[in-house]
Structure 1
Amino acid sequence: MIEIRWDADWDGLTNQKQLEEILKVFLKNLFKNERGLSLYLTNDAEIQKLNQQFRGKDSPTDILSWPYSEDELDLDFPNVENTDEVELAGDLVVSVERVRKQAEENDWNFETELIRLLAHGCAHLAGWDHERNAKEAKEMLELEIELLKKVGLLNIY
């Protein structure tokens, strides 16, 4: 299950079906079992609040990710029926304002920047972290490049 939500101001901003298909490709290539995720497209003010609350950084950012650990996925809740739904990899929150700004800075369109960020966020959901060390940052970037190739985005790095 891919759930995409956005502020009403951005109705028609991007093709939701296309985004869902791209996210499915990313998740299929990152996880051995089928996974879903929740994506929320918001503004700089909202993502700044979340960045402050969860990372202690009082500034807007382009994307935030909250991976669900294997332990959380395997919890057995009494009196809850197993519906065999797809397990969630986690949650992503993206600032539309940051996407627009970075797309302009990189001289490509909104969709390209959004997809680039979603590849980055999905890699975080799979456990990658570019802030741990330079080696993992390089490997994570290589992974993102491979993910982007799978959806037809070539040579953007």
Structure 2
Amino acid sequence: MMKNKYDIRIDSLPPYPKKLWEEILVLFLGLLETHKNFSFKNCTLTLLVVKDNDMISYNKEQMNAYGPTNILSFPENDSKTVFIGKAQSAIMKNRSSLGTLILSIDTLLREAYLYGQNPQTHAVRLLAHGLAHLLGYDHGKEMWELTDFLEDNFSRQEYSHTITPFWSFTHG
């Protein structure tokens, strides 16, 4: 694994390993810098991993929606510098803070079970989706392409996470 050159702040409920979340995000940021002309130097990204009861509160307070959701994205808009994407959509670039992702571990595990997916595969998909929102993409073709790019390239990378995967813990 490459040495982490990014400022990634993770607040995760124990026993879910922060190192796994960090490795996924570091690989994503590296892929975006290498292949998509983004720069994350001196940029902060925050990830909160919560349970459904907390996600319900965030979803109601921030989105005026009832119930849990899998991931919420709150981009920071502290720069006027923009990157023009393929569809000429303005995407904020070179910000000091990308923003905050809030991920519900309960919803992630429930959805992985319902979709018949490996929970890590689903976690990668949700984080890629949330990161695309932080970069200014909205639901549509460009966002799905970026999410697919991150997910496909992540699966080709080797990462060094060696502690017990988060989905193997008893959950309740």
Cα pair distance change 1:36/1:25, threshold 3 Å = farther
1:26 equivalent to 2:28? Answer yes
Q: Deviations over 1:19-58 (max 9, x none)?
A: 2122123234063343331111111111111111111111
1:91 equivalent to 2:93? Answer no
Equivalence map 1:5-154=2 (5 Å)? 5-7=11-13, 10-11=14-15, 13-14=16-17, 16-28=18-30, 29=32, 31-34=38-41, 35-71=43-79, 87-130=96-139, 137-152=140-155
Preserved contact between residue 27 and residue 36 of structure 1 (Cα < 8 Å)? no
Residue 72 (structure 1) shift: 8.7
Task: Name the structure with the higher helix share.
Answer: 1
Alignment TM-score, normalising by the size of structure 1: 0.75
Instruction: State percent identity of aligned pairs.
Output: 34
Q: Deviations over 1:77-101 (max 9, x none)?
A: xxxxxxxxx9321100011110001
- Alignment partner, residue 81 of structure 1: none
CA distance in 2, matches of 1:33, 1:91: 14
CA distance in 2, matches of 1:89, 1:18: 20
Q: Residue 48 of structure 2: SS of its match in structure 1?
A: strand
After TM superposition, what 4+ stretches of structure 1 lie above 6 angstroms from structure 2? none
Residue 17 (structure 1) shift: 2.5
Q: How many residues align?
A: 131
CA distance in 1, matches of 2:145, 2:79: 28
List runs of 5+ in structure 1 lacking aligned partners: 74-85, 131-136
List runs of 5+ in structure 2 lacking aligned partners: 1-6, 82-94, 157-172
* CA RMSD, Structure 1 to Structure 2 (Å): 2.1
CA distance in 1, matches of 2:20, 2:148: 19
1:2 equivalent to 2:8? Answer yes
CA distance in 1, matches of 2:61, 2:137: 22
Preserved contact between residue 24 and residue 36 of structure 1 (Cα < 8 Å)? no
